[in-house]
Amino acid sequence: MSTPTSSARPGPATATGAKEQVARLLTLVPYLHARGGVRLDEAARDLGVSERQLVKDLRVLFLCGLPGGYPDDLIDVDLDALVDPEGDRVIRVANADYLARPLRLSQTEATAIIVALRALRGGALTEQAAEVVDRALGKLEHAAADAAAPIEVPLEPDEREYAARKALLQRGVTEQRQLRLSYFVPTRDEESERIVDPRGVVSYRGVEYLDAYCHSAEAPRLFRLDRIRAATLLETPVVSAPEAPRSLAEGLFAPGEHLLTVTLRLEPTARWVTEYYPTQDAHQMADGSLQVDLQVADLRWLRRLLLRLAPYASVIAPAEVADDLRDAASAALRLYDQDA
């Protein structure tokens, strides 16, 4: 699971500019005010800053205060306790009551935390849990004074079930315990039971897979999470040699696996295919259809897809695949012969 970094920018906890330092100080002062003296290492951990940076920040704070410039006007920081080898390394700040409350949440902060809470609300499995999230959400919405943007993240029932299953699989990974899966294989239209040693949940193009050693296949396998119909966490520990989950950076197909490139012509009704499966070389045709190439590892899967799209997808090449589709359609049609 990689974290997308669509707009990575260093936050106040790590950045070195004056603005970020001010942001840190505006959080640090109320933090200390609410707690009295706090040990340097503890404060660094709570605020996500290094101890070194924290001491630097405190040295600057020492120079700030009320206008006038008299010693009594300045914020008092017990720097000796922090830098003196004999010091007890406890941060004590005085004379800063006017900064006793943290700065209110920015609009982006309000949006980020409130939308995250709305998502958690959708994940509540019991009424009690939902009630706790609602209370927290209510208080946060009040504190943010309606600054959060209108972003809605309703969780559909199937998504909740999915999230619950994923949590269970991940527990299997962390606790190194075996799982029993009931898995649906669409190409074979069959549901099978298997015991697996989970290695990790990995994702490729937005689809998540459990990478696991499968005891039925006696080999590592990828299981699409949305095709796992049921999962049980077993008491038995994993027995296969531990291995990190595989990287799907190069795609789902193992190197060297035989792939067939199939050229399809899709009428508008069948165009959704290009949003669900990786297709290449799309050409718009004069008649409004779209010609695309699809990489296929399993011809049974392709046959089912093309039948589902019938007759809005046709096979341009190779000829064997076109023949196979025609045969499959004729065979299905023969079931209705006695109707005629």
Partner 1 sequence: MAAAKTERLMNLLIMLLVQRGYVSRERIRELLYKDSSDDAFERMFERDKEELRSLGVPIETGGHDPLFEDEAGYRVSPDQFALPPIELTADEAAVIGLATKVWEHARLAEATTEAVRKLTAAGVDVDVAALDLVEPRLAAEEPSFDVFLEAVQERTAVRFDYRTSGGPDVSSRHVQPWGVVRFSGRWYVVGYDVDRADQRVFRLSRVVDDARKVGEPGSYQVPEGIDVRAIAKATLRPERAQEPAVLLVRGGAGHTLRRRAERVEPLAEGERRPDGGHWERLHLLSPPSDLADEILSHGTDVYVEEPAALRRTVIERLQGVS
Site for partner 1 in 282-311 (CB under 8 A): 282, 284, 290, 303-305, 307-311
- By CB under 8 A, the residues from 256 to 285 that bind partner 1 are 266, 268, 271-275, 282, 284
Report the alpha-carbon distance of residue 266 to residue 123 in Å, rounded. 38
Report the alpha-carbon distance of residue 102 to residue 30 in Å, rounded. 6
Contact 326, 308 (CB under 8 A): no
- Look up tokens 């209108």; give the residue: 150
Ramachandran region, residue 150 (left: φ > 0; alpha: ψ -120 to 50; beta: rest): beta
Report the alpha-carbon distance of residue 113 to residue 139 in Å, rounded. 12
Binding of residue 248 to partner 1 (CB under 8 A): no
Contact 198, 212 (CB under 8 A): yes
Which distant-in-sequence residues (6+ apart) come within 8 Å of 44 by Cβ?
50, 51, 54
Residue whose CB is less far from partner 1, 238 or 313 = 313
- By CB under 8 A, the residues from 80 to 99 that bind partner 1 are 98-99
Residue whose CB is less far from partner 1, 204 or 240 = 204
CB of 158 to partner 1, least distance (A): 8
Report the alpha-carbon distance of residue 319 to residue 184 in Å, rounded. 30
Number of chain positions touching partner 1 (CB under 8 A): 127
- By CB under 8 A, the residues from 3 to 62 that bind partner 1 are 3-9, 11-13, 16-19, 21-23, 25-31, 34-35, 46-48, 56, 59-61
Query: Which one of 86, 146, 190, 287 is in contact with partner 1 (CB under 8 A)?
Result: 190
Query: Which one of 135, 217, 261, 280 is in contact with partner 1 (CB under 8 A)?
Result: 135
- By CB under 8 A, the residues from 96 to 115 that bind partner 1 are 98-99, 101-113, 115
Query: Which one of 140, 195, 252, 297 is in contact with partner 1 (CB under 8 A)?
Result: 140
Residue whose CB is less far from partner 1, 163 or 297 = 163
Residue whose CB is less far from partner 1, 258 or 334 = 334
Binding of residue 128 to partner 1 (CB under 8 A): yes
Residue whose CB is less far from partner 1, 148 or 238 = 148
Report the alpha-carbon distance of residue 47 to residue 102 in Å, rounded. 13
DSSP H/E element including 60: helix 51-61
Report the alpha-carbon distance of residue 104 to residue 283 in Å, rounded. 52
Which distant-in-sequence residues (6+ apart) come within 8 Å of 5 by Cβ?
none
| Only segment of 82-90, 147-155, 237-245, 256-264 that touches partner 1 (CB under 8 A) | 147-155
